[in-house]
Amino acid sequence: MGATNILVERRRTPTRTTTMMRMAQIYTERFSDPDGRIRATFDVIWLSGWAPHASQPKPLKPGSATASLEAAVKRRLPPASGA
């Protein structure tokens, strides 16, 4: 697909219908199956990076919690009002 930053050197007006129709014609001529179907695939690659920072909170030591997860899970919440 060649996807890049769409804000850089982008067209400032909508693509003309004649341009899109010609593109479809050329693509069909070059890449269609004998039955006229166009098969196309593309991969989506998404990356994310993260690195710890000195200002990031550090995890507590095991067993140092001041609240019980079991108690939080067992606590019954009041019924929701039907608004």
Q: pLDDT per residue over 2-52, tens digit each? A: 566 666 777 778 889 999 999 989 988 998 999 988 888 888 888 888 888
- With beta carbons less than 8 A apart as the criterion, state whether 40 and 31 touch: yes
Angle at 24 (CA atoms; ends 22, 28), nearest 5 degrees? 120
Q: pLDDT per residue over 52-71, tens digit each? A: 889 988 888 988 888 888 88
Q: CA quadruple 10, 22, 20, 13: dihedral positive or negative?
A: positive
